[in-house]
Amino acid sequence: MATAPEVASEQDLHGLDEAAATATAPRAPNVRMLISLEDDVQERLMNRQIEADNDVDSALGDDDACPNDDDANEQLDIGHHIYLMLLDNKLFLAPIGPDPLKVLDIGTGTGIWAIDFADQYPSALVIGTDLSPIQPTYVPPNLQFEIDDAASEWTFPKNSFDFIHVRGLFGSLRDWPAFYRQVYDHLKPGGYYEQLECSVCCHADDDSTPEGSPLRRWGQLFTLAGERMGKPTDVLDRQRQWLVDGGFEGVVEERFKMPTGLWPSAKTERGRKMKEIGKWRLAEVETGAEGWALALMTRVLGMTYAEVQAFLVEMRKAWRDKRVHGYTPVSVVYGRKPMR
Ligand SMILES: C[S@@+](CC[C@H](N)C(=O)[O-])C[C@H]1O[C@@H](n2cnc3c(N)ncnc32)[C@H](O)[C@@H]1O
């Protein structure tokens, strides 16, 4: 059995040279340092006849870190349930008032948030946009989906939306301040913007995810992949300031902890809620992890299919280990376009 190589330090991760920092670069040493494989697992996986590239290609959109196959879509719908639990059954936190007329959900995915919103606000026209056409056909009559790249020039009329919503766009955009300028321009004066983002890094309030553990390495690898794509993954830590800098007023941030696994104690009411969230989050990561990891770790970090699968074996063990008290930080930020 191989011993785990040392994990790259933060400094190593950020000290990539120019040549290594390209999406097409072959495996760079710092990626090798972040993965540790058990020989027997690797050999078993190497021997499987898998059309790895085909699997990855069919699951990925062009220039998009998000896979869009069945597992990915199911994972998004599980995620919706988790976010509802985190937000105490609310679809959003911004005080938008009872009668929004026009609402935009950017990067709508399966459209599950937009569908619920359209049902709750039947007098609103709701538009969901995405790069991928994965939205259902039978939807509320006040909802429409459009294929649109949020990073391109928007064609919607300016000053037209009462509410613009984003959930889970980290790792998808290169120029966030430019994105917020478009959001600002397309909101009506007094209209609200809200964004929910989660971290790619797993945290624990004790020492159960030490440096070198699979959960730590997961966050480091995804952060590195985001840096190499030029699409930051640490949006949750920056979105509040981006909104303030973008001229939004009354900017509010709320933070949440989203546990993974069955480790939370169910002795208190809050503990029971956390345990329920942890159970669903375990289902979410186990459904989505292969798609997320294959997409980024093979294409962007140059790992092999077998290496990614072996790493996922370690990840699944950690997520299911009740001694590992891991959670994912979540940030919800909202702000208003000034009336003037
Ligand atoms: C993590 S999913 C979140 C989906 C949905 N917001 C939810 O919470 O269920 C991110 C979505 O953003 C979409 N996306 C990524 N880049 C985009 C872009 N530039 N313009 C529009 N949608 C984009 C992806 O196709 C994917 O469906």
Hey, where are the domains in the chain? Answer: 10-336
The Cα angle at residue 169 between residues 164 and 328, in degrees rounded to 5: 115
Provide the β-strand partners of residue 198.
330
Of 60, 66, 110, 331, the residue with max ligand 1 atoms within 8 A of its CB, to mutate for a pocket test, comes to: 66
Q: Are the C-beta atoms of 25 and 301 separated by less than 8 Å?
A: no
SS3 sequence, 279-295?
HHHHHHHHHHHHHHHHH
* Averaged pLDDT score across all residues of the chain: 85
> What tens digit of pLDDT does each residue of 68-113 get?
677 888 999 999 999 999 999 999 999 999 999 999 999 999 999 9
Query: How much distance in Å is there from the Cα of 106 to the middle of ligand 1?
Result: 7
Q: Is the CB–ligand 1 distance for residue 109 below 6 Å?
A: yes
Spacing of C-alpha 184 from chain mean position: 23
**CATH annotation of 10-336:** 3.40.50.150
Q: Please check the confidence at residue 48 and state whether its pLDDT lies above 90.
A: no
Query: How much distance in Å is there from the Cα of 212 to the middle of ligand 1?
Result: 31
Give the global pTM: 0.85
Of 108, 134, 284, the residue with max ligand 1 atoms within 8 A of its CB, to mutate for a pocket test, comes to: 108
Alpha-carbon distance of 135 to 130, in angstroms, equals 9
Residue nearest to atom 1 of ligand 1 (CA): 168
Residue nearest to atom 27 of ligand 1 (CA): 109
Residue nearest to atom 12 of ligand 1 (CA): 107
Alpha-carbon distance of 308 to 178, in angstroms, equals 34
> What tens digit of pLDDT does each residue of 277-329 get?
999 999 999 999 999 899 899 999 999 999 999 999 999 999 999 999 999 99
**Mean pLDDT score, 1-23:** 31
Q: Is the CB–ligand 1 distance for residue 335 below 6 Å?
A: no
Q: Please check the confidence at residue 155 and state whether its pLDDT lies above 60.
A: yes
